[in-house]
């Protein structure tokens, strides 16, 4: 156990990067957060978790990463099989083909093979199988713990992403774990998102499986998920309807723009879920009006230019509406921290005064005792 603990500690210590710069967005890359789920995961390979531990990386590995041509932070949430990994592969290929500078970060510690080469990979720092074995965790718990460990040094990762380069990355793509809840609703996920949003323009790309959304209730489930992500991250959100080579997303756009058409699609169903979907459609009507959408095909590459254009619009939205809010929060946090320090300082000063008073009182008693003896 102690050997495995030392390996994890040494692995985390290998992240040695300068402190991040101040909040100046200037020429910094656009961070697009992409969250999504995959069909299969390596979680059921329990027979291999007791294999001999190994170091996931060598010290200083991140210092020798190849310079990227793109910087896009992708947080892709979606239902299982939404096509996140294929989307990341196609986006990476599209950027390289069009010679758009970018930077890629992988935050999924459990993925066995990636169809693209990330510039920063959590697997080089945290060994997922060792974490599962060392802390006696299940698959999801090991992913969350791995992300928590990586988040303790994430300011160093941010400094890599915002580091000036020639050419300067335009997007920073960050691939997140396939389990939505692990990233979106965890403390480490919030740390990662806020670390990017506090230093660079940041947005969220929500990947949706278009063919499955042909079912009105599945469509509503995805929209509620999108709403929850927007509420949690408080960042510009772009809903990406994937797999349009299989089914066009026109029906989804119509349902979002025309409440009656969505109601008509639910007419054949009289279940409680269908009734709930009708009610929720009314609630989300205002949400739809300010929601950005785009259709893409991760297989054929259709719509990738539209995605990048929509992402840049979200970046402008961040600068106009979200950056002032981020700066306000940072200012409030600084003020609270200053008040906390002042309070702690007063407590220390009061304690010192009390300590001096007790010493002085003790000295007077001693002198009186001596006088009595005389």
Backbone angle region of 334, left / alpha / beta, with phi > 0 → left and psi within -120 to 50 → alpha: alpha
Task: Provide the CA 333 distance to its chain's centre, in angstroms.
Answer: 21
Least confident of 23-37, 100-114, 124-138, 315-329: 23-37
Average the pLDDT over 43-66 and give the result: 38
Look up residue 299 and give its two tokens. Answer: 């297989």
List, in order, residues 6 or more apart from 213 with CB less than 8 Å away: 219, 222, 241, 249, 252
Average the pLDDT over 98-106 and give the result: 94
For residue 24, the 8-state DSSP code is -
Q: C-alpha dihedral over 238, 243, 245, 248, to 10 degrees?
A: -60
Q: C-alpha dihedral over 277, 283, 285, 286, to 10 degrees?
A: -160
Q: At what angle do helices 139-151 and 154-161 cross, to 10 degrees?
A: 70
Q: Are strands 171-175 and 102-106 parallel, antiparallel or unpaired?
A: parallel
The residue ranking higher by pLDDT, 373 or 263, is 263
At 145 the three-state DSSP class reads helix
Q: Report the chain's mean pLDDT, rounded to a whole number.
A: 80
pLDDT of residue 327: 81
In the chain, how many H helices and how many E strands?
A: 14, 7
Average the pLDDT over 183-209 and give the result: 92
Contact 179, 37 (CB under 8 A): yes
pLDDT of residue 14: 52
Neighbouring C-beta atoms of residue 143, cutoff 10 Å: 28
- The percentage of residues in the chain with a pLDDT greater than 70, rounded to a whole number, is 76
Written as one string, the DSSP assignment of 195-237 is HHHTTS-EEEEEEEETGGGGSHHHHHHHHHHHHHHHHHH-S-E
Residues in the chain: 374
Say if residue 200's pLDDT is above 70. Answer: yes
Q: C-alpha dihedral over 161, 167, 171, 172, to 10 degrees?
A: -20
The CA distance from 217 to 43, in Å, is 29
């Amino acid at each position: 156990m102690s050997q495995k603990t030392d390996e994890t500690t040494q692995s985390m210590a290998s992240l040695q990067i300068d402190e991040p710069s101040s909040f100046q967005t200037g020429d910094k890359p656009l961070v697009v957060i992409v969250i999504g789920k995959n069909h299969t995961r390596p979680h059921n390979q329990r027979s291999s978790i007791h294999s001999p531990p190994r170091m996931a990386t060598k010290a200083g590995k991140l210092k020798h990463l190849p310079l990227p041509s793109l910087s896009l932070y992708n947080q892709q949430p979606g239902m299982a099989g939404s096509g996140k990994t294929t989307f990341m592969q196609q986006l990476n290929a599209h950027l390289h083909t069009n010679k758009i500078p970018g930077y890629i970060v992988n935050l999924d510690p459990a993925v066995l093979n990636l169809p693209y080469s990330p510039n920063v990979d959590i697997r080089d720092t945290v060994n997922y199988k060792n974490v599962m074995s060392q802390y006696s965790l299940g698959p999801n718990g090991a992913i969350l713990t791995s992300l928590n460990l990586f988040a303790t040094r994430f300011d160093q990762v941010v400094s890599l992403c915002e580091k000036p380069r020639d050419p300067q990355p335009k997007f920073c793509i960050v691939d997140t774990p396939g389990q939505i809840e692990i990233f979106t609703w965890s403390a480490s996920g919030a740390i990662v998102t806020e670390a990017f949003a506090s230093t660079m323009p940041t947005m969220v790309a929500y990947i949706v499986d278009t063919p499955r959304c042909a079912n009105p209730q599945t469509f509503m489930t995805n929209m509620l998920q999108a709403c929850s992500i927007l509420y949690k991250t408080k960042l510009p959100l772009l809903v990406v309807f994937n797999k349009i080579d299989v089914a066009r997303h026109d029906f989804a756009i119509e349902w979002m723009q025309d409440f009656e058409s969505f109601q008509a699609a639910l007419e054949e169903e009289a279940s409680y879920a269908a009734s709930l979907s009708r009610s929720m459609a009314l609630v989300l009507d205002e949400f739809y009006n300010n929601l950005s959408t785009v259709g893409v095909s991760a297989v054929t590459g259709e719509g990738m230019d539209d995605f990048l254009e929509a992402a840049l619009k979200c970046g402008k939205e961040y600068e106009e509406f979200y950056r002032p809010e981020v700066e306000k929060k940072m200012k409030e946090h600084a003020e609270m921290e200053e008040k906390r320090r002042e309070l702690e300082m007063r407590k220390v000063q009061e304690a010192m005064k009390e300590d001096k008073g007790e010493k002085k009182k003790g000295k007077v008693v001693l002198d009186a005792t001596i006088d009595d003896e005389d």
